[in-house]
Amino acid sequence: PASMSTAVKAEPNLWDLVGSEVYWKTSQGRNRLKADISNSTNNPDRITRGVFVTLPSTPTAGFLRELRAMLLSWLLIRSRQPDSFRTDLVIATSGRGAEFARELGCTDVGRTNAEGNSSCVIVDYIMLEDRHHPDGDAADPLVSYGTYLNSIMPTAEYEG
C-alpha cells in the first residue's frame, strides 16, 4: 500500500549545487569565486577579443569620421593592453567603405594564429537594403528594419 512506502530524499547533484545561486552566496562559494578571479588575473592566458564595426558601402563623412575615431581608440587599447592580449578591429563593409578602411591600414586577411599581432580586418558585408533580390520575388519585409538588422547581422554572418 502507498501508506507503507517510505520516501527517499535524493541527495542534490553536485553540479546542481555548485551551479545554483545559493552556492555562490555561501562563504565557500564566494571564496572559490575570489580565488578563481585572482588566479585568472595573476596568470592570464592569451586572450583574443574583437571590436566589430559595420560601415556602409558608401559611407558619409560622419561615418568616416567615426571610423577614424574608432581606429584611434583601438590603437590606444592596443598600446595599453597586456602582451598576452590581442584585440582585433573587424570592419564589416564593402565598396567605398572597404577602400577607406584599406587607406587606414586595415587588411582583408586576418591573423592566422593566436600569436600574431592585433589586426584591423575588413570582412565583406553587403547591407540588407543593397542585397540583390531575384526578379519576381516580393520585397523582403526585413528591409524596413535594415538599420537595426545591419547592426547585428554582420556578427551572425561572420565566418572569421
The better pLDDT of the pair 156, 15 is held by 156
Amino acid, single-letter form, for residue 27 = S
Write out pLDDT tens, residues 52-69: 998 988 999 999 999 999
On average, the pLDDT of the chain sits at 79
On the question of pLDDT at 42 being above 80, the answer is: no
pLDDT at 40: 65
Q: Are 55 and 86 in contact (CB under 8 A)?
A: no
Of the ranges 3-17, 23-37, 80-94, the best mean pLDDT one = 80-94
Q: How confident is the model at residue 32 (pLDDT cuts 50, 70, 90)?
A: confident
Domain locations along the chain: 11-42, 47-157
The better pLDDT of the pair 14, 129 is held by 129
On the question of pLDDT at 27 being above 70, the answer is: yes
- Over pLDDT 90: what percentage of the chain? 34
DSSP for the chain, written as a single string? -GGG--PPPPPPPHHHHHTSHHHHHSHHHHHHHHHHHHHHHHS---EEEEEEEE--SS--HHHHHHHHHHHHHHHHHHHHS-TTEEEEEEEEE-HHHHHHHHHTT-BSS--SSTTSPP-EEEEE---GGGS---TTPPPPGGGGGHHHHHHHHHHHH---
